[in-house]
């Protein structure tokens, strides 16, 4: 039995409709080990009983009722599914099937075995810019494809850039987690406060209308980190990080960028641009001389330049530590919240399950910052 749904604006969207199967997923798939955890559930290895093929299953908990703070709205799962269904590209995680029960939705997705790109790089002794660019090019191809389809990811960060198989001679990049993605309809004004502080564009913090350019900012930040092991706007606290982004407070510290080519710095500078319309697009990035050199001199410069591996390894170790720490804190908060919800009853569930795994959801720090600014403004009037 299947349950079909249509979006309100079907004519303007792809003709495809998401199909949520009502079969019990366990009748068709054997559920295996946990591969990772996201904001609202787990990703597990699953084996298709009929064929023996191994996939990944993304188990998303649904909100129990209108007042519930735990779990996802069915509408936002539908949005993620619809977007994934409309994207078929070698560098974007593929969706195979969707199952629904009362409490959760299970997305059957392509199993990505190679882990995160940053972990793969951190295991290396050294990496030239030319080698790093091979990965950047694939990220840009995936992003360019989704942007051509008017889809913005809105959560591009190292955790969401994986490798198909790290033992393959030329592993494919796979962009994952479309939980915050949005497909723009012509003329639509879309604002969102979601994202991860280190990687979000100033227009998100300022709660301005967004477009696909926000992803290009994140690519600028990812490239900066990849080359230097430094995070360009990182402050002591998330609020300080957000303030640094809005103030465009970044520089190329010579100590960390001594091995970096000027072309790479130019590439980053054209992405970390406050004005969205002046920021390089994915299409333009793919023909920037750092990615597509025009002559032998440019090729030689890329070969001579390398990433700051010593500092990159340090950055990655800190990042992994922070991810584990955030995961433990999120679990603790989740358990406390569940306990409180049991004691208080649904009508009193006013606790905000805001921070999960280091991600600001729609009511996070960014809102606090913007609200702080708004009150500053009204006080000064």
* CA 139, 145, 148, 149 torsion-angle sign: negative
Give the H/E segment covering residue 86: helix 74-86
d(CA 127, CA 129): 7
Position 117 contacts ligand AMP (CB under 6 A)? no
- Count of C-beta atoms within a 10 Å radius of residue 140: 24
- CA-nearest of 93, 170, 99 to 137 is 170
- Each residue 136-165 as x (binds ligand AMP by CB under 6 A) or -, in order, gives -----------------------x------
Q: How far is the CB of 36 from ligand AMP (least distance, A)?
A: 2
Interface segment toward ligand AMP; rule CB under 6 A; list 37-45, 46-54, 237-245, 252-260: 37-45
Token couple for 144: 């360019």
DSSP strands (E only) in 62-124: 95-100, 104-109
Q: How far is the CB of 176 from ligand AMP (least distance, A)?
A: 5
Interface segment toward ligand AMP; rule CB under 6 A; list 109-117, 186-194, 230-238, 255-263: 109-117
Position 48 contacts ligand AMP (CB under 6 A)? no
Cα separation values, 112 from 72, 92, 140, 153, 359, Å = 24, 11, 19, 18, 22
Interface segment toward ligand AMP; rule CB under 6 A; list 16-24, 32-40, 214-222, 363-371: 32-40
Q: How far is the CB of 20 from ligand AMP (least distance, A)?
A: 18
Position 282 contacts ligand AMP (CB under 6 A)? no
Residue 152's Cβ-side half-sphere holds a number of Cα atoms within 13 Å equal to 25
- CA-nearest of 160, 161, 158, 162 to 114 is 162
- Each residue 78-97 as x (binds ligand AMP by CB under 6 A) or -, in order, gives ---------------x----
Position 35 contacts ligand AMP (CB under 6 A)? yes
Shortest Cβ contact with ligand AMP: which residue? 38
Position 72 contacts ligand AMP (CB under 6 A)? no
Q: How far is the CB of 347 from ligand AMP (least distance, A)?
A: 30
58 is in an annotated binding site: yes
**Contact of 43 with 58, CB cutoff 8 Å:** yes
Interface segment toward ligand AMP; rule CB under 6 A; list 104-112, 219-227, 334-342, 344-352: 104-112
Q: How far is the CB of 83 from ligand AMP (least distance, A)?
A: 13
Q: How far is the CB of 340 from ligand AMP (least distance, A)?
A: 25
Position 71 contacts ligand AMP (CB under 6 A)? no
d(CA 66, CA 88): 34
Position 104 contacts ligand AMP (CB under 6 A)? no
Laid out side by side, the sheet with 41-48 consists of: 2-4, 19-21, 95-100, 104-109, 54-61, 41-48, 29-37
- Total number of residues binding ligand AMP (CB under 6 A)? 15
Known catalytic residue at 23: no
- The smaller minimum CB distance to ligand AMP, of residues 119 and 131, is found at 119
DSSP strands (E only) in the chain: 2-4, 19-21, 29-37, 41-48, 54-61, 95-100, 104-109, 151-152, 161-163, 173-175, 182-183, 355-356, 359-360
What does the angle CA 56 – CA 39 – CA 68 come to, to the nearest 5 degrees?
Answer: 120
Residues that bind ligand AMP (CB under 6 A): 35-38, 43, 56, 58, 93, 109-112, 159, 176-177
Feature table: binding site for ATP: 58
Q: Please list the active-site residues.
A: 155
């Amino acid at each position: 039995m299947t349950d079909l749904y249509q979006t309100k604006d079907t004519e303007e969207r792809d003709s495809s409709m998401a199909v949520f199967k009502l079969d019990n997923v366990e009748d068709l798939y054997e559920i295996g080990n946990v591969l990772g955890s996201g904001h609202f559930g787990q990703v597990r290895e699953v084996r298709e009983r009929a064929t023996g093929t191994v996939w990944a299953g993304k188990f998303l908990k649904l909100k129990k009722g209108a007042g519930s703070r735990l779990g996802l709205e069915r509408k936002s799962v539908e949005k993620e599914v619809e977007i994934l269904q409309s994207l078929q590209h070698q560098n974007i995680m593929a969706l195979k099937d969707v199952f629904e029960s009362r409490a959760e939705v299970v997305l059957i997705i392509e199993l990505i075995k190679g882990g995160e790109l940053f972990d793969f790089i951190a295991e290396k002794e050294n990496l030239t810019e030319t080698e790093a660019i091979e990965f950047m090019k694939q990220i840009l191809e995936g992003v360019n494809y989704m942007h051509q389809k008017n889809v913005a990811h809105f959560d591009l960060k190292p955790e969401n850039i994986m490798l198909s198989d790290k033992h393959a001679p030329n592993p494919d990049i796979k962009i994952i987690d479309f939980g915050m993605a949005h497909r723009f309809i012509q003329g639509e004004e879309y604002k969102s406060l979601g994202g991860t502080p280190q990687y979000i564009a100033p227009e998100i913090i300022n709660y301005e209308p967004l477009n696909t350019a926000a992803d290009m900012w994140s690519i600028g930040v990812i490239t900066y980190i990849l080359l230097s092991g430094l995070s360009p706007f990182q402050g002591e606290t998330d609020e300080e990080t957000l303030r640094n982004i809005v103030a465009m407070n970044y520089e190329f510290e010579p100590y960390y960028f001594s091995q970096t080519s000027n072309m790479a710095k130019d590439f980053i500078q054209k992405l970390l641009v406050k004005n969205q319309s002046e920021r390089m697009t994915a299409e333009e990035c793919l023909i920037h001389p750092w990615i597509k050199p025009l002559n032998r001199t440019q090729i030689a410069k890329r070969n001579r330049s390398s990433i700051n591996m010593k500092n990159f390894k340090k950055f990655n170790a800190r990042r992994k530590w922070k991810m584990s720490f955030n995961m433990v804190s999120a679990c603790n908060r989740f358990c406390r919240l569940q306990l409180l919800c049991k004691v208080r009853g649904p009508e009193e569930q006013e606790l905000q399950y805001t921070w999960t795994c280091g991600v600001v959801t729609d009511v996070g720090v960014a809102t606090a910052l913007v609200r702080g600014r708004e009150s500053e403004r009204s006080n000064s009037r």
